[in-house]
Amino acid sequence: MLRENLEAVEANIQAACERAGRDRSEVTLIAVSKTKPVETLQEAYDLGVRIFGENKAQELAGKYEVLPDDIHWHMIGHMQRNKVKYIVDKVDLIHSVDSVRLAETIEKEAEKRNVTVNILIEVNVAKEESKYGLMPEEVIDFVDKLADFPHLRVKGLMTIAPFVDDPEENRPIFAHLRKLSVDIAKKNVDNMSMGILSMGMTNDYQVAIEEGATMVRVGTGIFGARDYTQQV
């Protein structure tokens, strides 16, 4: 099943790139493996997957310890500050930075370990009350503040779009995030690039790619439904 799912997702990514006149190499697939056991991740690894996304720090750190070294780990979930220490030297990218206090903690832990941490700024484009992330109008000030943190590198923006029946409903949200990233890129802030747009999940990654996503985060579409009752 995993092989078929991966092939189907890959075909969908290619088709979306074609529709948008984009090169397949512009889009990175992150296999969202949260709640899945290491055996399942190993199976995906054996099928060629090298980029995994997790949303809990300790779960990521635990899987990091036992799985092969050439995996690239992405932290995609909301972070509590006291958990930053578990992952700061293990991840390629933290997708979900949305407060100065969190950025300060990442800076401090990164400095201790003498590493530089790549981050994305999470934006609540849809302004859903239940969601984390900055309001779009807050992002420019936030980027300026992050310029003071020498161990952080802002690489772009991330959003979690609402869960909708018709993915077309999220098209304006993805377009909005892209426009925001273009506006911010023009400011040329130190230590900052806007090269990454992390947007699109199982339900809507094809629309997100059409609207400029450079990273899509796909869980269910690869691994099947998650069973939260089995979580330890």
Ligand X SMILES: *Cc1c(COP(=O)(O)O)cnc(C)c1O
Distance (Å, whole) CA 147 – CA 114: 18
Cβ atoms of 124 and 137 closer than 8 Å: no
If DSSP codes are grouped into helix, strand and coil, which group holds residue 223?
Answer: helix
- Please say whether the dihedral angle defined by the alpha carbons of residues 175, 197, 119 and 133, taken in this order, is positive or negative: positive
Distance (Å, whole) CA 173 – CA 228: 28
Closer of 5 and 181 to ligand X (Cβ): 5
From the CB of 12, what's the least distance to ligand X, in Å?
12
Closer of 9 and 180 to ligand X (Cβ): 9
From the CB of 8, what's the least distance to ligand X, in Å?
13
- From 6, 34, 57, 194, residue interacting with ligand X (rule: CB under 6 A): 34
For 183, residues 6+ apart whose C-beta sits below 8 A from its C-beta are 140
If DSSP codes are grouped into helix, strand and coil, which group holds residue 181?
Answer: helix
32 lies in the site for ligand X, by CB under 6 A: yes
- From 160, 173, 194, 199, residue interacting with ligand X (rule: CB under 6 A): 160
CA 118 to chain centre: 11
Closer of 98 and 210 to ligand X (Cβ): 98
Question: Nearest Cα to 41, choosing from 27, 58, 59?
Answer: 59
56 lies in the site for ligand X, by CB under 6 A: no
157 lies in the site for ligand X, by CB under 6 A: no
Closer of 150 and 224 to ligand X (Cβ): 224
- Please say whether the dihedral angle defined by the alpha carbons of residues 44, 46, 48 and 53, taken in this order, is positive or negative: positive
Binders in 183-222 for ligand X, by CB under 6 A: 201-203, 217-221
60 lies in the site for ligand X, by CB under 6 A: no
- From 44, 64, 77, 87, residue interacting with ligand X (rule: CB under 6 A): 77
Summarize as ranges the residues that interact with ligand X (CB under 6 A).
32, 34, 55, 76-77, 160, 201-203, 217-221
